[in-house]
Amino acid sequence: MFLRKSLLRMACLLALSSPVWAAPAQSYDFGQPAAAAKVTRSVEVVMGDMSFTPKAIDIKAGETIRFVLVNKGQLLHEFNLGDAAMHAKHQQEMLQMQQSGMLTPNGMKEMDHGAMAGMDHGMMKHDDPNSVLVEPGKTAELTWTFTKASSLEFACNIPGHYQAGMVGKLTVSQ
């Protein structure tokens, strides 16, 4: 009994003194997610199958924009804020999600992670703050404060959609 309590105490002390290995929160040099109360302007973006309307959006640094995303297409679409390099990286993650069966043409499936042995489970979720998935016939919102002038894109990174032209220009000026 004494040995068991001593081992338990040692384990607790080790756990409390060990560093926490949490993934760092992703940061974006062009801004951050914002609360609805901070919105300065709303912009409606209509998603068709392989198109965005409008194709270009102009914003001023310091603005907090509520993007109202209306999917009028027949397929699942994504609205993702970033530069071309960020989109290229995210497209690879989305491809993995599609190949695993998690991402379907019309939505996302809950996956049995036990059945996905050998896969990086950390990448198997779609929860980036600069991105939202919108199912066919649905509406969603993304609220973002843009902190500095930059040339960005808004894009759908579902495999093949970006390449088919589902990308728009987002210009943030001073």
Residue corresponding to tokens 């194709």? 55
* pLDDT given for residue 110 in this prediction: 65
Least confident span in 1-5, 57-61, 166-170: 1-5
Partners of residue 48 on adjacent β-strands: 51
Residue 105: both structure tokens together:
């043409």
- Residue 126's pLDDT band, with cuts at 50, 70 and 90, is confident
What SS3 class is residue 14?
A: helix
- Residue 10's pLDDT band, with cuts at 50, 70 and 90, is very low
* pLDDT given for residue 108 in this prediction: 84
Residue 68: both structure tokens together:
């109202």
* pLDDT given for residue 1 in this prediction: 53
Average pLDDT of the residues in 88-108: 91
Query: Of all residues in the chain, what percent are helix, strand and coil, respectively (each to 5)?
Result: 25, 35, 40
Report the 10 Å Cβ neighbour count for 100: 15
Residue 119 pLDDT greater than 80, yes or no? no
Over the stretch 58-74, which tens digit does the pLDDT of each residue have?
999 999 999 999 999 99
If we measure between CA atoms, which residue out of 172, 168, 77 comes closest to residue 131? 77
The helix or strand, by DSSP H or E, that contains position 3, with its residue range, turns out to be helix 2-17
Over the stretch 24-71, which tens digit does the pLDDT of each residue have?
456 899 999 999 999 999 999 999 999 999 999 999 999 999 999 999
* Annotation: CATH topology of 30-110+119-173: Immunoglobulin-like (2.60.40)
Pick the residue with more confidence: 110 or 116?
Answer: 110
Chain centroid, CA 14 distance in Å: 36
